[in-house]
Structure 1
């Protein structure tokens, strides 16, 4: 594995934003400006590197950011009533979309590096740091038994699970598990297992879907050397044994043991009660979105329209695209997305770009079909950056194998 260089160091800094900000929140005099300080720590080196080498900032990244901004500007000119959601105190577009620390800005940073080996090398180092950071987040729930969650409307709730924690942790679990598969190091296997257990106990079901998607995609379309007939049969056999063991008697005993430790698992409780497929209101939200799409199929309602008309994001990337852009343009974007995924899974000849794409495809799709919004989901924009970088490498006839 190649060494991390200046650009991948900056990408690592970008990914470590939560840790940097958290460090300054512990300083009473600086806690109020912790976000600003963290952004300065990321963007001052970024500016210095840009001044010495302007080519690190790709034109397509700047065009993309400008295009996203233009979409929001055009939308608010047509629908001025959207100001209430654009500038909402708890979920404004400057807190979710134009944050300089997530979303489309992740595309900007990941496009800076054109060598997939360097990106993977950086992710290996950062994944261990971020794994332990997110593991420390469970301290409060271990002490109090409940998470303190800030809801979409800004209100505070105390819950047994934390959706944000689950998705944040599975991001790094998948990366750690990738390195376990490729490097066969027991440390990566143990850390990914520990993280997976934490997600099962305190995270959301959608996060577990991301992990399952990664295993399926990587064993099927990733490193072909890992996927042999024997391994396929072994995985099938183990899966059948595992499923046969998952009867309520065993699960109830497991639940009692976990509860005796003072731990509650919402996912385990859902399996036992038969409510694992409960959609928690998603069906109502999505049916409402569908009604709006049918009411204006040609042009849609613009960016963030689901927040205004439905009161929440769509919980499905395809529905959000259709409500935002209408069926003709939104449908075209969905088709292009599916073509991109098919191409990268089947036709990508570089194992490193292929692996990176599978990692971020799994992370983003596990979330965007159950929760979140593509406008703010960093893994979605990173996936797009990886696709563009691979296409550019083909045109330059550069092979990093």
Structure 2
């Protein structure tokens, strides 16, 4: 490994660290926390010594502000979940943005990202056939494992010249559609749509492709097939049975789809969202505090905007919108692989956080925030 690419490697390794180690920690749950702690500290120590204990002044300012804010939240608006959320911010937010602050070569980051994605796919592609033994359930399998695996493989095949990765990207997409949650499928197609419509070539020229409507039509058709997949499977089972062939695999797939449909009923999600909307009315201006909704209802709002509004009110939402706009401005003026990286980070949080997950457990969300706060370095 080239020495001046160590920061890029450490940053990308940390993004994938918890997912890659899951195959190990799931079998030694008694010491899983210790294993993760040792790995995290090892990455931090290497980074600190390699960078001579330096830190980007804007990252330092950001961390000081966030530390003061979260301490105030804990002391004056604390609840049963505040401590967990602060811990998650340190792990998923603070350490991530610290490591990101030393990244200079986004091309190298994408290269590492693509190969880590391949490893992730190979480790967990069989998990749905083992009852999600490693990844726990179809939602975690989708958002935390197959979606980032697909994204990295897709980027590797499309922009890094590693054409054989397209085959693995296709298999990852198929697994997402068949065995993950609908949000992961939507996020994967969103990635395809964004990168295919707003074309980015290797020379750094960005233009709106005329095939916008063609891709839109194709993805719409795929989505229609996807939501009717259960009916298609039933038809195939009937055909197979009529010719007296074994339909075990199709029957198993049908059972998986039925179970997923039952657990994903919109009525449950809509009830959570309605509870969140009612909760916002308690303190619409500044919210009720970090994790207040989670503490009261035992579950987070499953929506980015509702989470911000329940926790920090309209004032907090305005601040986040300003930060997002700053990052979007950086994306627009970035060139070459900087823009590919920025768009990738955006795609990996915007859909999952809109329909599920929460901001304190999304590394990509905090990376995108920092994109607007740290001056971008162009790849020459």
TM-score, scaled relative to structure 1: 0.77
Contact 1:163–1:204 (CA under 8 A) maintained in structure 2 = yes
Match among 207, 211, 214 for residue 188 of structure 2: 211
Aligned partners of 1:245, 1:292: CA distance in 2, in Å?
Answer: 37
- Deviations, residues 121-153 of structure 1 (Å, cap 9, x unaligned): 221221111121222433522xxxx76987xxx
- Residue 177, structure 1, aligned to residue 159, structure 2: no
Residues 1:326 and 1:264: Cα distance change in structure 2 (over 3 Å): same
Match among 78, 81, 85 for residue 85 of structure 1: 81
Aligned partners of 1:163, 1:373: CA distance in 2, in Å?
Answer: 13
- Residue 5, structure 1, aligned to residue 5, structure 2: yes
Match among 368, 378, 388 for residue 373 of structure 2: 388
Q: How does 1:253-292 map to 2 (within 5 A)?
A: 253-254=235-236, 260-261=248-249, 263-264=252-253, 268-269=257-258, 278-292=265-279
- Mind listing any 5+ residue stretches in structure 1 that lack a counterpart? 151-160
Per the alignment, residue 325 of structure 2 pairs with 339
Residues 1:252 and 1:355: Cα distance change in structure 2 (over 3 Å): same
Aligned partners of 2:86, 2:59: CA distance in 1, in Å?
Answer: 18
Per the alignment, residue 109 of structure 2 pairs with 119
Contact 1:124–1:176 (CA under 8 A) maintained in structure 2 = yes
Displacement of 1:110: 1.9
Paired residues in the alignment total 364
Residues 1:73 and 1:228: Cα distance change in structure 2 (over 3 Å): closer
Residues 1:56 and 1:260: Cα distance change in structure 2 (over 3 Å): farther
Aligned partners of 1:385, 1:4: CA distance in 2, in Å?
Answer: 22
Displacement of 1:95: 6.0
SS of the residue aligned with 2:281? Answer: helix
The two structures, once aligned, show a CA RMSD in angstroms of 3.5
Per the alignment, residue 52 of structure 2 pairs with 54
Per the alignment, residue 19 of structure 1 pairs with 20
Per the alignment, residue 354 of structure 1 pairs with 339
Residues 1:23 and 1:7: Cα distance change in structure 2 (over 3 Å): same
Per the alignment, residue 215 of structure 2 pairs with 235
Aligned partners of 1:255, 1:382: CA distance in 2, in Å?
Answer: 46
Aligned partners of 2:277, 2:213: CA distance in 1, in Å?
Answer: 41
Contact 2:157–2:163 (CA under 8 A) maintained in structure 1 = yes
Displacement of 1:369: 0.6
- Deviations, residues 244-289 of structure 1 (Å, cap 9, x unaligned): 8676753533577797315336885499x8x899425221112222
SS of the residue aligned with 1:54? Answer: coil
TM-score, scaled relative to structure 2: 0.81
Worse overlay, 35-44 or 192-201: 35-44
- Residue 137, structure 1, aligned to residue 127, structure 2: yes
Residues 1:367 and 1:24: Cα distance change in structure 2 (over 3 Å): closer
Residues 1:95 and 1:72: Cα distance change in structure 2 (over 3 Å): closer
- Mind listing any 5+ residue stretches in structure 2 that lack a counterpart? 241-245
SS of the residue aligned with 2:184? Answer: helix
- Residue 311, structure 1, aligned to residue 298, structure 2: yes
Structure showing the higher helix proportion among its residues: 2
